[in-house]
Amino acid sequence: AQSVTQPDIHITVSEGASLELRCNYSYGATPYLFWYVQSPGQGLQLLLKYFSGDTLVQGIKGFEAEFKRSQSSFNLRKPSVHWSDAAEYFCAVVRTYKYIFGTGTRLKVLA
């Protein structure tokens, strides 16, 4: 069955430091992969998505993600974190109409 794992429940980084959020998926075919961000009490905002082609995907707010088929991973990165990046981040894989979400990683940014 398809699944998404985000192994880090909480991550804390200092402002200006680099960030990597991990996402591993289980899917039999070529996956469609997404990263969303959720601020407290808000809906989800799409950061970026991967369908095919270039395995390094650029998104909004300076985020990027790299699809690695050999590792079944789609990790999210940002070279320099801003305090406003504090939020919860969700990775998702699509199966037909259905998104399968990971349990999320909550990011805390220290000033």
Closer to another protein at the Cβ: 3 or 18?
A: 3
62, 79 Cβ separation under 8 angstroms: yes
Distance CA 59, CA 66 (A): 11
Distance CA 80, CA 53 (A): 26
Per rule CB under 8 A, is residue 22 in the interface with another protein? no
Closer to another protein at the Cβ: 15 or 95?
A: 95
**Cβ neighbour number for residue 69 with a 10 Å cutoff:** 10
Q: Near another protein by CB under 8 A, which window of 12-20, 57-65, 71-79, 90-98?
A: 90-98
Per rule CB under 8 A, is residue 63 in the interface with another protein? no
Q: Near another protein by CB under 8 A, which window of 13-21, 39-47, 53-61, 68-76?
A: 39-47
Which is nearest to 25 in space by CA: 71, 89, 90?
71
Per rule CB under 8 A, is residue 96 in the interface with another protein? yes
Per rule CB under 8 A, is residue 77 in the interface with another protein? no
Per rule CB under 8 A, is residue 98 in the interface with another protein? yes
Q: How far is CA 39 from the centre of its chain?
A: 14
Per rule CB under 8 A, is residue 97 in the interface with another protein? yes
Closer to another protein at the Cβ: 70 or 96?
A: 96
DSSP 8-state assignment for residue 17: S
